Amino acid sequence: MLLIAISCSDKENRKKYVLVIHGGAGTIERASMTPEKEIAYKQVLEEAVQVGYQAIQAGKSAVDAVEATVHVMENSPLFNAGKGAVFTHEGRNELDAAIMDGRNLMAGAIAGVTRVRNPISAARAVMEKSEHVLLSGSGADSFAEQAGLEMVDPSYFYTKDRWDGLQRALELDSVEAAQERKNHQASSLNAQMIDRKFGTVGCVALDNKGDLAAGTSTGGMTNKKFGRIGDAPIIGAGTYANNESVAVSCTGWGEFYLRNVVAYDLAALMSYKSLTVQEAAARVLKKVETAGGNGGLIALDKHGNMTMSFNTTGMYRAAITDDGKVEVYIYEDE
C-alpha cells in the first residue's frame, strides 16, 4: 500500500512542530465511520495536543507534556489504551506503556499491568523511581501502587465495544478458522486478524529547552494469548527518543516492529545516514511492509520537523506547531 506521510515542508514555510500524537493505525475508512464518531475522535485528538501544548507553553519538560497528553487518550474509551483497552483471550485487560527522555536516554516501561489507571505514568515511575527499565505483570502493578499512582479495579477498563470485539475474535479463532489457516485459505480472516493489533496511542514532544521525549501506551492486540507483549513497551522498537536525532512512537503489527527495531532504526538512519525524518520514516515502514506487516508511526526531530507516516488506510493523528496551530487527521487522503 502507498505510504502516507504528513510532514512539514518548504511549501508550509518550515513549520516548527512541538507535539505530535497518534491514536492507532489500521483499516479506518469514511464508509465505516459515523459523523458523530468522527467528531468524537477529532475532539479527543485536539484536546490531547492542546493539553500537551499548554504544558510546553508553561515551561514544563517534554516528558511532562508527553505524560499529560497520553493521559487524555488513555482516559478515553475511543482508543486501545487505558480505559479503551482491548481484551485478551482470557477476557482480561493487560496494558503496556513506555516513555523515554531524549535528554539523557533514560527510559521506563511496564507490560501486562491490570490495575494502573494510567499506564504511561507507571512507565514514568519506573524511569524515575527505580533502577530498572521494564517491569511486568503483577510486579509492575505492585510497583505502581507503591509509587503512589492511581490504581483501579480491573473492571474499570471494561467497555462493551472492546468486549464485543473479543467475542468476534474468539469466533474467528475457532477450530474452523484454524483449519482455514492451515490450508492457507484465510485471506479474509487474516485481514481481520491484522486489525486486532492496532489502536496504540503515542506522543512525541519538543520542549522550550530543545529536549525531546516519546511515550506510547496500548492494550495490545485483541484476543492475545500467553502474556503476549508487542513493541509499544520495548525501547527502540515501539518507542525511542534522543536529543541528538528524533523522538518516535509507533503503532501497528507489533511483531514486525520488534523484529525491525523500528523506532531506533529510524533514529539511526537520521544519525548515521543523514536522512530527514520523513525519509527515515519511509525507509523503516517499507521494511515493515516488505516483511509482511503494516502500521504507522509519528516522529519529531530536534529541529521541530515531523512526520505522521503510515501504510494503512488511516491513522488517528494530530500535531501542533510552536505558535499553537492544530492539525487533526484520520484518513489516508487527508
Query: Which residues belong to the active site?
Result: 200
Distances (CA, A) of 42 to 35, 47, 179, 305: 11, 8, 40, 22
CB 266 within 8 A of CB 231: no
Q: For strand 134-136 and strand 326-331, is the pairing parallel, antiparallel, or unpaired?
A: unpaired
d(CA 316, CA 73): 11
Distances (CA, A) of 269 to 39, 173, 263, 274, 277: 37, 39, 10, 7, 9
CB 333 within 8 A of CB 28: no
Instruction: Please count the other Cβ atoms lying within 10 Å of the Cβ belonging to residue 305.
Output: 20
